[in-house]
Amino acid sequence: MKAILQRVLSASVAVEKEVVSSIGKGVLVFAAVAPGDTEKEADSLAAKVLKMKLWDDETGGRWKKSVTEISGEVLCVSQFTLLASTKKGNKPDFHGAMGGEEASRLYQYFFEKVQTGYAAERVKNGVFQAMMEVALVNDGPVCLGIHYILPLALVDVLTRFYKVTLELSVGGQRPAAEPAAKKKAPAEPTE
């Protein structure tokens, strides 16, 4: 999962020109679900949203308080475009985002974890897969990106898969090893 957290003075979401959610001081969270994401990543991200220290304390100490500690609000907005690849050409590629029912289920799971980790009435939501107008008044501005990468076990499986694929692509044999460098015989002493 990937998320952008923005510290805000206020934020709202409108669908077809009608406001469906709004918050005062708190955090606006844009969240995206990637293929391979599970409840584990959603749990971690929800905890991070609620625990991230984005505000100063009463004595001026920087980055000391979380949204829960200031009794702020949270607005979650699904945004698959966070996972776009822009490496080739000028048209974004969205294959890095999970689609359909599973993305909806996992995003909703994430949203509910944020609600249950704090106070349901202080956590609002956008509308999944809707064309939304998001308005905000940034506070700072403070904007942080959080990206949970693939679990190590999955990275290992993918690495093995691509290694086998590479071996098969060169005729079913491993690429030839580099020959060992020949050692030079010690030079004869000259008189």
CB within 8 A of 105, min separation 6: which ones?
none
Q: If you ran DSSP here, which 8-state letter would residue 156 be given?
A: H
Q: What is the pLDDT of residue 185?
A: 56
Q: If you ran DSSP here, which 8-state letter would residue 154 be given?
A: H
Q: What is the pLDDT of residue 170?
A: 46
Q: What is the pLDDT of residue 182?
A: 55
- 37 backbone dihedrals φ, ψ, rounded to 5°: -70, 150
3-state secondary structure of 40: helix
Rounded (10°) angle between helices 39-51 and 100-117: 40
Model pTM score: 0.77
Mean pLDDT by 10 residues, the chain (191 residues): 97 97 98 94 96 96 97 97 91 89 95 98 96 96 84 53 48 50 56 53
- Considering 38, 81, 116, 159, which one is annotated as catalytic? 81
Q: What is the pLDDT of residue 18?
A: 97
**Residue 146 bridge partners (DSSP):** 3
> Active-site residue 81, yes or no?
yes
Q: What is the pLDDT of residue 63?
A: 96
How many other CB atoms sit within 10 Å of the CB of residue 15? 14
